[in-house]
Chain A
Amino acid sequence: MVAVSRGNLASMSEIYQHRHSSLFRFFFRLTGRQTVAEDLTHEVFLRMIRYRHTYQSGDGFEAWMYRIARNAFADQLKKHRFETPAPEDFDTADKGALTPFESAVKRQELALLHRALRELPDDKRELIVLSRFQGLSYEQIGQIVGCETGTAKVRVFRAVKEMSGIFLALQKEKAS
């Protein structure tokens, strides 16, 4: 990114190669929509070029990139508020020797888990996505959302707890 910030736009291609998938997944987990996630990913790379002068080599690249991504997502929400759709089916084929019944139970459980995640408020879903799916450390999450590392840990804990509560309630609802 240092090379890009100095005007070498060709280096952006390498950054794209390494980061576009994870950035896409970040947006997909937040929006649940393929095209919206792809558009946002594209927008983030454009913004990285536009605001390349704001990148400082001492700062973490991940934190800088996700700050841009969060702003892009916030701008998108201002323009269009969308409901995260439920996936049609979950593939459990690679889960080893599951019986058809076990496989059906597993699929149902994943669907409920996915629903619990999308029923979370945006800020809490974002914390879970950053920590669980994007694999960022709490220190990085603190830099991205603007809080101390310890606070980031507590916030993620509370988000998972809330999601767990929703998940259990959905399971009960399904069983009754």
Chain B
Amino acid sequence: MMCGQAKEWIAASWTGELDEAAEAKLRRHLLSCPECAGEMSQLGGVWERMADLPTPEPSQAMRVRWESTLESLMANRKSTSWRFTLASLWPERPVWQATIAASCLVLGLAAGMLLQKPGDRREIATLREEIASTREMVALSLLQQQSATERLRGVDYTQRMPSMEPQVVSALIDAVQHDENVNVRLAAIDALGKVSRDAKVRQSLTHSLAAEQSPMVQAALIDYAADAGDPHASETLQRLSQRPDVNPAVRQRASKALSELTRYR
């Protein structure tokens, strides 16, 4: 028998985990192996003496502290038990979290499509019309304000409209022709860019160009005519490019626009 095996048996004998057969084998080995016999005696003695070491006891304060902790844990758990339950349902892995979020989105879209009634679309269309009408009213109202800032807001409102009603177009043309503030006039020209295909609008702005005194607004109107490719603006541009009282930069711009219109004609 190997001494290594004897070490296991010696350790087992200390705790009473050695069966009779193994005990008999250990005894035989100890008779033939003085080294193991010496260890058995010496270490067994130490093992036995350890029983005399004092046994410590916990204090009463420890128990009181625990009881208080457990009580507060249980009280806290009662008040938040439903939150614990919900939280425990939520997975910790980000992959599952993303999967659940995507599933919820798909389910929501599917439910929305299934639950939508034919009448809902009509209602939505009506609602959109009402919103557009309200925007129009607000824009027209703002364009009538005394404050230039408010009128600028009105122009800005018209630019947000998906389509422009004739009343709004008229109000913007009126602003280009008669608003005393240069910035409002410039903003109105920009807003009318959406309806540059409308011949009446182009015509109105060409008339404005003839009457306009501000070089900046003149330049903006020249650009508008050039971008719109309005052939009826040629005559006005021709006259403007030759007027000595007009800003040289504006005259130059008018000449350039005129040559562009001639080229595309």
For residue A160, CB closer than 8 A to chain B, the reply is: yes
Complex Cα gap A128–B14 (Å): 11
A window 28-78: CB within 8 A of B: 28-29, 34, 37-38, 41-42, 45-46, 49
Query: Do B63 and A164 touch (CB < 8 A)?
Result: no
Say yes or no: A45-B11 contact (C-beta < 8 A), given A21-B58, A160-B46: no
Say yes or no: A164-B46 contact (C-beta < 8 A), given A20-B58, A38-B58: yes
B169 to chain A, nearest CB (A): 70
For residue B10, CB closer than 8 A to chain A, the reply is: yes
Counting residue pairs across A and B whose Cβ atoms lie within 8 Å, the total is 107
- Residue tally, chain B, CB below 8 Å to A: 35
Residues of B within 8 A of A164 (CB): 42-43, 46
Q: Sort chain A's interface into a size bin.
A: 35 or more
Query: Do B56 and A24 touch (CB < 8 A)?
Result: yes
Query: Do A137 and B17 touch (CB < 8 A)?
Result: yes
Residues of A within 8 A of B52 (CB): 90, 92, 95, 106, 110, 113
B36 to chain A, nearest CB (A): 11
Partner of A161, one of B8, B43, B59, B62: B43
Complex Cα gap A114–B73 (Å): 39
Complex Cα gap A138–B141 (Å): 92
Partner of A45, one of B14, B50, B66: B66
Query: Do A138 and B11 touch (CB < 8 A)?
Result: yes
For residue B211, CB closer than 8 A to chain A, the reply is: no
- Considering only CB atoms, which chain B residue lies closest to A135 in the complex? B15
Complex Cα gap A7–B188 (Å): 70
Query: Do A154 and B66 touch (CB < 8 A)?
Result: no
Say yes or no: A34-B54 contact (C-beta < 8 A), given A13-B70, A154-B11: no
A window 1-16: CB within 8 A of B: 9-10, 12-13, 16
Partner of B53, one of A34, A41, A110: A110
Query: Do B39 and A161 touch (CB < 8 A)?
Result: yes
Partner of A138, one of B12, B58, B62, B67: B12
A window 134-176: CB within 8 A of B: 135, 137-138, 150, 153-154, 156-158, 160-161, 163-164, 167
Complex Cα gap A37–B56 (Å): 10
Complex Cα gap A45–B55 (Å): 21
Query: Do A157 and B11 touch (CB < 8 A)?
Result: yes
Say yes or no: A20-B10 contact (C-beta < 8 A), given A10-B74, A37-B56, A164-B43: no
B window 7-54: CB within 8 A of A: 7-8, 10-12, 14-15, 17, 39, 42-43, 46-47, 49-50, 52-54
Say yes or no: A24-B58 contact (C-beta < 8 A), given A49-B73, A164-B43: yes
A67 to chain B, nearest CB (A): 20
Query: Do A157 and B8 touch (CB < 8 A)?
Result: yes
Complex Cα gap A38–B70 (Å): 16
Complex Cα gap A106–B53 (Å): 11
Give the one of B15, B55, B74 with max A CB within 10 A: B15
For residue A84, CB closer than 8 A to chain B, the reply is: no
B69 to chain A, nearest CB (A): 7
B71 to chain A, nearest CB (A): 10
Residues of B within 8 A of A158 (CB): 7
Say yes or no: A153-B7 contact (C-beta < 8 A), given A28-B56, A137-B17: yes
Identify the A interface with B (CB < 8 A).
9-10, 12-13, 16, 20-21, 24-25, 28-29, 34, 37-38, 41-42, 45-46, 49, 87, 90-92, 95, 106, 109-110, 113-114, 117, 128, 131-133, 135, 137-138, 150, 153-154, 156-158, 160-161, 163-164, 167
Question: What 11 new A-B contacts, CB under 8 Å, besides A13-B67, A20-B58?
Answer: A12-B70, A25-B55, A34-B56, A91-B54, A113-B46, A117-B53, A135-B15, A137-B15, A150-B8, A160-B43, A161-B43
- Can you identify 8 A-B contacts, CB atoms within 8 angstroms? A9-B74, A16-B63, A25-B56, A92-B52, A131-B11, A133-B50, A133-B53, A156-B11
Q: Which 7 A-B pairs have the closest CB atoms?
A: A153-B11, A24-B58, A153-B8, A157-B11, A28-B56, A38-B62, A164-B46
